[in-house]
Amino acid sequence: MTLASSQLYGKRLRGWLSYAFASEVFVIVSLTLFLPICLEQFARDNGFLLPERTQRCTAQPGSETPVESTGRCVVQIGWLWIDTASFSLYVYSISVALQALTVISMGGIADHPPHRKILLVTFALLGALSATAFLVLPSSSPVWFLSALLASIANVGFGASIVALNSYIPALAKDSPEVVQILGEIQESADNAEDRPERVSESPDAPLIARTSSQARTELQTRYDTALSRATSRISSQGIALGYGAGICLLIVALIPVTKLHGSTFALRLAIGLSGIWWAVFTIPAALWLPGAGATPSQEDAAWQESGDSKWNARREIVAAWKRLGGMLHPREIKRLRNTFKYLAAWFLLSDGFTTITSTAVLFGKTSLHMDASALILIGILTPLSGIAGSLLWPMLQRRYGWSNLKIIIILVLLASVIPAYGCLGFLPVFQGSLRFGGLTTQGEMFGLALYFGSIYGAFQSYARAFYAELLPPGEEARWYGLFSITDKSSSFVGPLIVGLISDGTGNIRYAFFFLVFMVWAAVPVLMSVDVEQGRKDAREYTYN
């Protein structure tokens, strides 16, 4: 790798990492912590206590200071009365459905290198502005329900921009110095094979079984695959670690007003608004450093330029993206990339399990364990803090023991299933009687589980998208990461909806833990059936008919 190529790679990597640093704050501070709480509080400030539905859930109508109450609070949306805890889950379900429609439409455009950065920056600013708008919308406003719209737009903006961001990962991994070095050895080996025909040595000192050039090329290809896999997981892990670090910084800042204002709705809105401002400001380096229309072309960009398609336009690409989605899901295509689709099936279950564990735990802590906002913020700090440790520790374990990306994902899934299973134990009389500890029945247990879950979730996020990159057809990363996101959001639409229905139907959100155990465990046999080597081979040879 030349000095110029190395500098260009470093600049692009910094641009990619800067957006991870910018956007992950919205996930940690808002999406998984303050948005569910804030939306629930918006509904509570406008809700009534059961069974009479005459007494306000807050101290005064329109007050931004919540009152402690063990009564069940419901809010009227149209002609329906719904539990305030379910309100945020329903909003999230709607937002992920809209997000899925968006990422389907943008897949073809994001695979066009000159427009990938435009999409990323546009959706980033759209999401950041929507999050920032919470600063000017109080829960006492007659249009308080617009909070649902703002939350939905912010989530759509985040999800769409992340699809564009993830589509950079395979190209960045291929341009990493160690991968480029091995690729050069492969090309040199191929050139030597053309110049010097293969022959068996007749020397008496030669081994009985000669090491042919074909065997050497196979070994080089194996080294290349291993280096590419590790580079992909390393880049992904660095992004997660940086993003978690940024989230912790802003959570610590948000802890001050939330504590001084005693967890008022304004304090929650302030935290969400600050995450939007952070998101917008730190997107600027990504906009400057990520490759765009005027950048020095990479191999991927050159392939598009050689196609010479002067009639390219966004409208046609959107229509084609929907047609292509139907084609990608045709049984014939699924058979050709069976291992990629096996992993997507597992991801459908796992993404639901992990994301719904997060949102359900926060709502469970607030509504069932009656944790105040400052305690939830502390949990929000502990989780990404241990997530940084996890995202850095697991690659070290991988290098030490030679584990594959898939094996690590399976281990992480099994470890994560302990959390909802532990919550199910709370129904046992022994934990509700004299023991008064265990089964997630006390606030103290939430802090321990936050550290445990964070160390698993941080690593899972990085390895999940890194392993998927190994199974993608070259040059179509955005389309397939779009399908990855759709699979994620399709299940995330189902998960919060079912949890919301469980909470509404039983009045006890703890029952949702049984559903989460089932979702996580159901993915394990599917994961174990994925043939990694065959999946890589099928992806390299794949061309869409």
* Domain harbouring 171, CATH code: 1.20.1250.20
| Residue 447 lies inside a defined structural domain of this protein | yes
How confident is the model over 389-415, as pLDDT tens digits? 888 888 888 888 888 889 999 999 999
| Residue 71 lies inside a defined structural domain of this protein | no
The encoded tokens of residue 10 equal 């470093």
Q: How many other C-beta atoms are found inside a 10 Å radius of the C-beta of residue 311?
A: 6
Host domain of residue 480:
3-52+79-192+220-290+314-541
DSSP 69: -
Tell me the three state secondary structure of residue 57. coil
Run of H or E residues at 444: helix 443-469
The encoded tokens of residue 495 equal 């998960």
| Residue 61 lies inside a defined structural domain of this protein | no
Please state, in angstroms and as integers, the Cα–Cα distance from residue 308 to each residue in 266, 305, 543, following that order.
Answer: 53, 6, 19
DSSP readout, 251-316? HHHHHHHHHHTTT-HHHHHHHHHHHHHHHHHTHHHHHHHS--TTSPP-HHHHHHHHH--TT--HHH
Task: Note the pLDDT of residue 256.
Answer: 83
Please give the tally of structural domains in the chain.
1
- The Cα 37–Cα 256 span in angstroms is 17
Task: Note the pLDDT of residue 330.
Answer: 80
Q: At what angle do helices 177-195 and 213-260 cross, to 10 degrees?
A: 170
| Residue 350 lies inside a defined structural domain of this protein | yes
| Residue 210 lies inside a defined structural domain of this protein | no
Maximum separation of any 2 CA atoms in the chain, in Å: 99
Please state, in angstroms and as integers, the Cα–Cα distance from residue 15 to each residue in 45, 175, 282, 304, 352, following that order.
Answer: 41, 14, 10, 22, 29
| Residue 363 lies inside a defined structural domain of this protein | yes
CB 431, CB 438: distance < 8 Å: yes
The encoded tokens of residue 502 equal 């469980």
Q: Which residues pair with 74 in a beta bridge?
A: 48, 83
Residue 441 CB partners (closer than 8 Å, separation 6+): 369, 426, 431, 432
C-alpha R_g of the chain:
25
Task: Note the pLDDT of residue 108.
Answer: 67
What is the CA 30 to chain-centroid distance, rounded?
A: 14
| Residue 139 lies inside a defined structural domain of this protein | yes
Task: Note the pLDDT of residue 60.
Answer: 55
Task: Note the pLDDT of residue 307.
Answer: 46
Task: Note the pLDDT of residue 325.
Answer: 72
| Residue 198 lies inside a defined structural domain of this protein | no
The encoded tokens of residue 429 equal 């009389």
Mean pLDDT by 10 residues, the chain (545 residues): 77 93 90 84 84 74 50 81 82 83 76 80 96 93 90 92 86 87 80 57 48 68 82 85 87 82 83 95 93 54 47 69 76 88 89 78 78 78 84 84 88 90 78 67 85 88 86 78 71 70 77 85 90 89 76
